[in-house]
Structure 1
Amino acid sequence: MAEWRRAMPVDAGPLADLERDANLVGLAHVFGDLPFPYDAVLTRWVLVLDDPEVVTEVVAGDQGLVAYVAYDPESLRHLAVHPDAWGRGIAREAVARSGASRLWVLEQNHRARGLYESLGWAPTGVTRECPRKPHPTELEYRHLGSSV
């Protein structure tokens, strides 16, 4: 099992770095050559870390953050694992830590969707447009064991 700790405001930059690193590998087929919106992501992390209703936990490694999960009482809001640590079960741990019953995932994020579905999540049929260009479709998922 990974060693998780609560994220602190000083982690905003490393959280944005990890999100960039995971996106550039895992979502290149979605965002292509568009530049990663680092400043907007960093600003979002500052706000997330300041939100008292959101818990953000991280796994630190020798070269920076290895994983993060951010969640509120109902929703898994953000999850990423550094590509160098994929396949170690860290994302499964993160989902379990959250205790969430709802999440949004990019329709074309097949790796994440496969993980969620293997853990008992299913799409609800509700979609929305991702705010990040080129505005891909996001799917709402609910945990099948949830009554919410």
Structure 2
Amino acid sequence: MRYEIRPVAPAEWKQSRALRLEALLDPVASVAFARTYDEESAMSDDQWRRRASGEGAQQVVAVRVGGDGDEWVGLAVVVAERADYYSINSVYLKPEVRGSGVAEKLFAAAIAWTWDRADRVHLWVHEKNPRAQAFYRRLGFRPTGRTMASPLDAGYTEYEYALERA
């Protein structure tokens, strides 16, 4: 199986929306994302177009190529929250490609995009998501010591991780 990792083009907003909404229905969505399916499915087409436009953010997609056509199987978004603060958000891989190495390639592309703009990239991870925590550590991300209440349930904590450019 061959996978292509590339930026999302603005004209691909419908595919981006479909994969994001699929992600929000995943059984682990409550510990992986800061928004809900109901919130994002109510967004207008214009909001989805802006999200895919690359303005202040870069979406990176993993596409399974060949066979019966191309299929979007993974997505990560780097957001420029401030001039000096870039964060990776909205990471999702379809269950059948998890553990295949696609996540590493998706992150490599997201991080490479960030290095053209900053020397550090951040992300937040839910306390009940040890698989993601282990993956981020394996990539070199380390806890910063900053925490916040989980956006979907303030009874849980999210931890900030960061990766410094070597």
Pick the TM interval, shorter chain.
0.7 to 0.9
**TM-align CA RMSD:** 3.0
Residue type at the aligned position of 1:37: T
Preserved contact between residue 18 and residue 65 of structure 1 (Cα < 8 Å): no
Query: How many residue pairs end up in the alignment?
Result: 139
Residue type at the aligned position of 1:20: L
**For residue 90 of structure 1, what is the aligned residue in structure 2?**
102
Preserved contact between residue 124 and residue 158 of structure 2 (Cα < 8 Å): yes
Preserved contact between residue 60 and residue 109 of structure 2 (Cα < 8 Å): no
For 2:73, which of 57, 66, 69 is the aligned residue?
66
How much does 1:91 deviate? 1.1
Tell me the secondary structure at the aligned position of residue 88 of structure 1. Answer: coil
**Structure 2 residue 153 is matched with structure 1 residue 138:** no
CA distance in 1, matches of 2:154, 2:19: 23
Q: Point out where structure 1 has 5 or more consecutive residues left out of the alignment.
A: none
| TM-score for both structures, normalised by structure 1 | 0.76
The structure that has the greater radius of gyration is 2
**For residue 59 of structure 2, what is the aligned residue in structure 1?**
56
**Structure 2 residue 9 is matched with structure 1 residue 9:** no
**For residue 141 of structure 2, what is the aligned residue in structure 1?**
121
Q: Point out where structure 2 has 5 or more consecutive residues left out of the alignment.
A: 81-85, 115-120
CA distance in 2, matches of 1:135, 1:5: 37
CA distance in 1, matches of 2:152, 2:99: 27
| TM-score for both structures, normalised by structure 2 | 0.68
How much does 1:129 deviate? 1.5
Q: Deviations 1:64-93 (Å, cap 9, x if unpaired)?
A: 531001113522122111111111111111
**For residue 76 of structure 1, what is the aligned residue in structure 2?**
88
